[in-house]
Amino acid sequence: MSKSIRVADDTYAALAALKCEDETFDELLSRLVRERRESIQAGAGLWADSDAAAKAREARSEFKRDVGRR
């Protein structure tokens, strides 16, 4: 079953620029979703053996405290 989606002209132009010559828009969107998933999966667990996550949480908390003081 096919679906129609509306996109702004600038979004269409950006997608068209990313589309390979022999690729349909459906194939383009599938490829972009697949690449995004692969990118996310590649980064999963990146901080597993470090204290980076704790440092990021502390930096975020500090930022929120600073914003609250303004």
Q: Which helix (H) or strand (E) holds 18?
A: helix 9-18
| Residue 19 DSSP one-character state | S
What is the structure's pLDDT at 27? Answer: 96
What is the structure's pLDDT at 30? Answer: 96
The answer to the question of residue 1 being in a domain is no
The answer to the question of residue 59 being in a domain is yes
Task: Give the tens place of pLDDT for each residue, 13-52.
Answer: 999 999 999 999 999 999 999 999 988 888 877 777 888 8
The answer to the question of residue 4 being in a domain is no
Sign of the torsion angle spanned by Cα atoms 61, 39, 21, 24? negative
The answer to the question of residue 13 being in a domain is yes
- The more confident residue out of 67 and 11 is 11
Number of domains in the chain: 1
By the 10 Å C-beta count (0-12 exposed, 13-18 middle, 19+ buried), 37 is classed as exposed
State how far Cα 3 lies from the chain centre. Answer: 23
State the residue range of the domain holding 47.
Answer: 9-69
The answer to the question of residue 3 being in a domain is no
Is the model's pLDDT at 70 over the cut of 70?
no
Is the model's pLDDT at 69 over the cut of 90?
no
pTM higher than 0.85 for the full model?
Answer: no
The answer to the question of residue 33 being in a domain is yes
